């Protein structure tokens, strides 16, 4: 099963991706986590990416796309993957389509986590990550609206919308149910 998870920052995508990855047995690939690991290890990519994460800006697409392409060559993605935080722009979505197309594969679905902006700001302030100050949160929401939200149209015919306002377990139950009804167990 090859899935993309979409949703504003703070929608709980990462948490849901983790659970779903266990449910369906495919790796959870979070570009945010990959960048944070590079930054923690002070790699050249980490050095190049850190100021963008600090500002709540998108890391330039070339860096991001190369990192994802490489991750998708790891054999654990053979039976599928869950992409969390990628693509985040039309250019990234086109690059992904290209990469998958070269291998003769396609996405099975795009899960869209739907939630109110007020709720996401509250959640992010509560979790207290380094880039979770109010000003940077606002910038991430702005970047989401401008760069990422257009993907809802781009992927229109593959989208499965999920109400992400409930408790973690409830959202996971909803996600599994909708996935089962729309895609089955590929």
- 52 belongs to the binding site for ligand ADP (CB under 6 A): yes
Flag whether 31 is marked binding: yes
Our CB check for ligand ADP shows the closer of 161 and 183 to be 161
- 58 belongs to the binding site for ligand ADP (CB under 6 A): yes
- 86 belongs to the binding site for ligand ADP (CB under 6 A): yes
Flag whether 93 is marked binding: no
HEC string for the chain: CEEEEECCCCCCHHHHHHHHHHHHCCCEEEHHHHHHHHHHCCCHHHHHHHHHHHHCCCCCHHHHHHHHHHHCCCHHHCCCEEEECCCCCHHHHHHHHHHHHHCCCCCCEEEEEECCHHHHHHHHHHHCCCCCCHHHHHHHHHHHHHHHCCHHHHCHHHEEEEECCCCHHHHHHHHHHHHHHHCCCC
Flag whether 140 is marked binding: yes
Closest distance between ligand ADP and the C-beta of residue 62, in Å?
10
- 121 belongs to the binding site for ligand ADP (CB under 6 A): no
The binding site for ligand ADP (CB under 6 A) comprises: 9-10, 13, 31-32, 35, 52-53, 56-59, 64, 85-86, 88, 92, 140
């Amino acid at each position: 099963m090859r899935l993309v998870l979409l949703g504003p920052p703070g929608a709980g995508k990462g948490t849901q991706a983790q659970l779903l990855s266990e449910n369906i047995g495919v790796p959870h690939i979070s570009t945010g986590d990959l960048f944070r690991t590079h930054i923690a290890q002070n790699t050249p990519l980490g050095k190049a990416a850190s100021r963008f994460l600090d500002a709540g800006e998108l890391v330039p697409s070339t860096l991001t796309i190369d990192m994802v392409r490489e991750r998708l060559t790891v054999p654990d993605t053979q039976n599928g993957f869950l992409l969390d935080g990628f693509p985040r722009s039309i250019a990234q979505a086109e690059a992904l389509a290209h990469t998958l197309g070269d291998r003769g594969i396609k996405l099975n679905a795009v899960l869209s986590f739907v939630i109110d902006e007020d709720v996401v700001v509250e959640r992010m302030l509560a979790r207290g990550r380094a880039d979770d100050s109010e000003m940077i949160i606002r910038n991430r929401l702005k970047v989401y609206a401008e760069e990422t939200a257009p993907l809802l149209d781009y992927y229109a015919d593959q989208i499965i919308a999920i109400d992400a306002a409930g408790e973690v377990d409830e959202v996971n139950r909803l996600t599994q149910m909708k996935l089962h009804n729309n895609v089955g167990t590929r």
